[in-house]
Structure 1
Amino acid sequence: MSLVKKFMTVGGATLGSRVFGFARETLMAAALGTGPMADVFYAAFRFPNLFRRLFAEGAFNAAFVPLFAKEIEANGVDGAKRFSEEVFGVLFSVLMLITIVMELAMPVLVSWIIAPGFVGDDAKFSLTVRLAAVMFPYLMCMSLTAMLSGMLNSLHHFFAAAVAPVFLNVMMISALFWALYTGSDPEVTAWYLSWSVLGAGILQLAVVYAGVRHAGMSIAFKFPRFTPNVKRLLILAVPAAVTGGITQINQMIGQAIASGKEGAIAALQYADRIYQLPLGVVGVAVGVVLLPELARALKAGFMKEAANTQNRSIEFVLFLTLPAAAALWVLSDEIIRVLYERGAFSEQNTSVVAGILAIYGLGLPGFVLIKALQPGFYAREDTRTPMRFTGISVVINTALAVSLFPLIAERGIAVAEAAAGWTNTLLLGATLYRRGHLEWEWPLVGRALRLVAAAAVMSGVLVYLLHLWAAWFTPQSPLLTQVTALGGLIAVAMVVYFGVAFAIGGANLGMLRRNLKRKPSEAAHPPEA
């Protein structure tokens, strides 16, 4: 399977999850708006989500996958199975301990980390503690799910791991439908949602475990022992856990600052859900596929193949995220109005969330490029360098968020996150290039500049059409009219962008054909001289 086809497999499954996520957030906006109960639920949900990124996706996509690939190369499937069982025993035990400690410490965590702005409001504070306590075991399920997903990705079985997140959205949508059907008040709705999160974690774990069994491997629980392989994993995983959760860390900081203003947490969450669509479809797909590809090429000694794979991934990211960033900037008001403006979600809410989304759009290419650059370090078992850059970006994010929030409220949080993302991207890229792990390709630079030009032309066309079609996006316009008009704008934008990009040389059929025809054997044999 070619690199692009692997991206499409993971990206397609992730797209399905994000579409369900849109449906979920639309129902959430109608049921809760940006009111106090929305703030409470999102604050409680952010914490287990942060630890999911720290202990699950960050640690195991960065540390487990290269070591698992090394075991396959050195000792075959049996050696990889033994390694997996060693890790599973330790991981399960550590997660159980963390879960117990966090449950007992939840009031302290809410008052100091999750939502310090809720202190003094006994009702909001108490409910946030209880909802977070219900959802925190989701971390344990998702961390084990991440380990099994890393196994599947290393074995080139991408679909089950990519489709598993759909079940979180399905469970939460079901809870929302039931709450709306029974006429539940916002607090009861928040309880339904919290229990659906826990149920979804159990279901996702079952799905990927079935996928591992289907791939021909089974995992038995073994008494935890710190073998040399497990120690090596922990050495790599601790910095990788911090690095992998950089977006969530910055968002947690932003949430803590925003908790001082009612509705701010929910507004940031609604905007975040939309920019997560391109970030997830492109960024997650690139990160998931690129890491095992680079790890195997490097273990086999094929440095040129690894460099080419890295550059093609960067090219793929720019090709798809530049137009997405431009569209989020230009169409932010129309997107928020169509998706959310109904029920408890007002026209004023639309203005606030749209402003946040536009800023997130500017940071989108940087956020996704991080996913394409970090595997260049992780595949070489270097997790400390990205962690240092993560620390720098967190400092920048915190300083800007604290400085800008009093001036421009929620938009200041978004500016801080975007600036931190781009800083991290530049540090990662410059270091890879300095070490000789990233090749400078003038053709790639030229195509990137042409893609920027194509995105600019597309933006100009959208601005012109928005002026012509303004009457179709008024709050008084029927929803069907607004949806049709937005769909028309997106369709025109795609035609203009891809047409201009191919016409001026930002992309060409030969480039796409080479990527689509790339065979797995190319990563298993040295390139011809």
Structure 2
Amino acid sequence: MIKKAFLTNSSGILLSRIAGFVRDLCTAKFLGAGVYSDIFFAAFKMPNLFRRVFGEGAFTQSFLPNFIRSRRKGMFALITFILFVTFILLLSLLVVCFSGFFTKLLAYGFDDATIELAKPIVVINFWYLELVFIVTFLSSLLQYKNCFWVNAYNTVLLNICMIVALISSKDKDSMQMVYMLSYGVLCGGVAQIFLHFYPLYRLRFFKLLKVGMIELWQWFKMPHSSEKIQKKIAIVKSDLKSFAKQFFPAMLGSSTAQLASFIDTLLASFLASGSISYLYYANRIFQFPLAVFAIACSTALFPLVAKAIRNDQSTQALQAMKKSFWFLCIALSVCVLGGIMLKDEIISLLYEWGNFTQENTLVVANVFAAYMIGLLPFGLARIFSLWLYSHQMQGKAAKISAISLLCGVGFSLILMHPLGAMGLAIAASLSGFVLFILTIRIFGFKEFLGIIHQKKAWFAIIAILGIEYLILLLLKPYVKALVEGIHIFVRNI
């Protein structure tokens, strides 16, 4: 089951990332790396942050264990949905009313003229929060039934809508292009929601929610109704309290990388023009192996670990984590070595088109290499954090992430001026090591040593990386020549 779920998640994420790279290529070609791209990326940072917090972190990891335990699943899910939708709606209206404040919060280093240009873009993109929560909520329900393909593939629709928006606006000025790209984000969110409807219907979740709606309506009409209804409400209230206790710490505990990226955007606004874009382009490629391997693996693993721990089957959960650990360790190590050795060629091939210059390539390549240093600790930390969330240790996970985040901010303040955008990327990687070490400390060093005590696996990693290094060393000149040939061919078309 876990292999099938992983392949489903990884293939969907792979397709989504490919579409995302095409989107980024179009963005780099039409907007380049300057003030207009900085405006969009700063505006898109907040909804993108919440997408990762909700979709890959706090909500799913807190909602799913409580949904599994709940005896009134329909009512519990419905009330949770209503509470979150209402809160995000009010938050979005607040952003509309105080757009200048929130824009300054996102990019404090922007001058007043740039802030005025960015305000409406921030408002448009912020509405994606409501859409992305609905998507995450529906995907969490489907994961309970081991239906992973919708969650894996739905982001493709977002990228397609953004690509269409960019291509449609290619003959317009840069600011109009930013507007159309922002509306493309909203269209993508609506499309993502519609994708969930058929599997929800097939797996009878609409009937489950209908039952919850009827029970909630009966209580709403008659708050002091029958004892049976009162018992149901009492059960749901208990489930909601348990969920709330886990969710709020988990918002920080599962979102270290995303919050660090958000802070990096704020700090980068004080650096040279284009720094926000450098971080964005490099981080997008860094997120590719993290998503295809670490996020796909942890998404597939989480329901299994949560259900096993719920049924007092800790040995089965540890065994699944052990297999996932070694798979990720090998896969991510290969990606780190390959990414660093071919950093210039990767960035040039993906982004060096149109307004994206060779000088931009050199800067982004160094930022990308700095991010790749932290790929292994960030990826492996996701596996062990599942153990904490399944044991409802969100509070401890939050403390770990808070320490990691503070360390990352400290590293950023030290490194940002001498090294620029690359310094911010190095700081992010260092915070990943802090996160991993502290997570292992809570998980248990004894249990961790039991997982890594595999001589054959260590020999396999060393052999694979040695072979990869020699192959890439031999092929690097040919890869460079191939990339240059592709550029010449495209320019001559």
> Could you say whether these structures have the same fold, taking a TM-score greater than 0.5 normalized by the shorter chain as the test?
yes
The aligned runs of 1:142-291 (5 Å cut-off) are 142-180=132-170, 183-218=171-206, 219-220=209-210, 227-260=237-270, 261-291=272-302
Question: What is the CA distance between 1:97 and its match in structure 2?
Answer: 2.0
Partner of 2:68: 69
Whether 2:82 is the aligned partner of 1:89: answer yes
Q: Secondary structure at the match of 2:392?
A: coil
CA contact (8 A) 1:292 1:379 kept: no
CA contact (8 A) 1:66 1:291 kept: no
Partner of 1:132: 122
Whether 2:38 is the aligned partner of 1:39: answer yes
CA contact (8 A) 2:345 2:480 kept: no
Q: What letter is aligned with 2:340?
A: W
Alignment RMSD (CA, Å): 2.1
Q: Secondary structure at the match of 1:247?
A: helix
The 2-side partners of 1:468 and 1:194 are apart by: 39
- Comparing 221-230 with 39-48, greater Cα deviation is found at 221-230
Q: What letter is aligned with 1:117?
A: G
Q: Which runs of 5+ in 1 are unaligned?
A: 482-529
CA contact (8 A) 1:65 1:291 kept: no
Q: Secondary structure at the match of 1:227?
A: helix
The aligned runs of 1:490-529 (5 Å cut-off) are none
Partner of 1:60: 59
The 2-side partners of 1:4 and 1:277 are apart by: 20
Question: What is the CA distance between 1:475 and its match in structure 2?
Answer: 7.7
Question: What is the CA distance between 1:138 and its match in structure 2?
Answer: 0.7
The 2-side partners of 1:128 and 1:304 are apart by: 52
CA contact (8 A) 2:13 2:152 kept: yes
Question: What is the CA distance between 1:198 and its match in structure 2?
Answer: 1.2
Give % identity.
26
Q: Which runs of 5+ in 2 are unaligned?
A: 221-232
CA contact (8 A) 1:366 1:421 kept: yes
Instruction: Describe the superposition over 1:136-162 as per-residue Cα deviations: whole angstroms up to 9, x where unpaired.
Output: 111111112111111111111111121
Whether 2:419 is the aligned partner of 1:419: answer no
CA contact (8 A) 1:315 1:448 kept: no
The 2-side partners of 1:10 and 1:406 are apart by: 39
Whether 2:402 is the aligned partner of 1:394: answer no
The 2-side partners of 1:116 and 1:469 are apart by: 40
The 2-side partners of 1:207 and 1:131 are apart by: 26
Q: What letter is aligned with 1:134?
A: I
TM-aligned CA distance change 1:467 to 1:57, over 3 Å: closer
CA contact (8 A) 2:56 2:295 kept: no
TM-aligned CA distance change 1:56 to 1:466, over 3 Å: closer
1:361 to 372, 375, 383: 372
Partner of 2:15: 16
The 2-side partners of 1:81 and 1:479 are apart by: 58
The 2-side partners of 1:167 and 1:419 are apart by: 34
Question: What is the CA distance between 1:277 and its match in structure 2?
Answer: 1.2
CA contact (8 A) 1:326 1:362 kept: no
The 1-side partners of 2:17 and 2:147 are apart by: 20
TM-aligned CA distance change 1:302 to 1:334, over 3 Å: same
Instruction: Describe the superposition over 1:154-176 as per-residue Cα deviations: whole angstroms up to 9, x where unpaired.
Output: 11111112111111101001101
The 2-side partners of 1:201 and 1:32 are apart by: 23
Question: What is the CA distance between 1:460 and its match in structure 2?
Answer: 3.0
TM-aligned CA distance change 1:254 to 1:86, over 3 Å: same
1:385 to 371, 396, 408: 396
Tell me the TM-score normalised to structure 2 length.
0.90
The 1-side partners of 2:419 and 2:326 are apart by: 35
Partner of 1:527: none
Q: What letter is aligned with 2:118?
A: T
Q: What letter is aligned with 2:92?
A: T
Q: What letter is aligned with 2:329?
A: L
CA contact (8 A) 1:310 1:438 kept: no
Partner of 1:49: 48
TM-aligned CA distance change 1:84 to 1:333, over 3 Å: same
Partner of 1:519: none
Question: What is the CA distance between 1:449 and its match in structure 2?
Answer: 5.1
Number of residue-to-residue matches in the alignment = 468
TM-aligned CA distance change 1:468 to 1:475, over 3 Å: closer
Question: What is the CA distance between 1:476 and its match in structure 2?
Answer: 8.7
Partner of 1:431: 442
TM-aligned CA distance change 1:297 to 1:316, over 3 Å: same
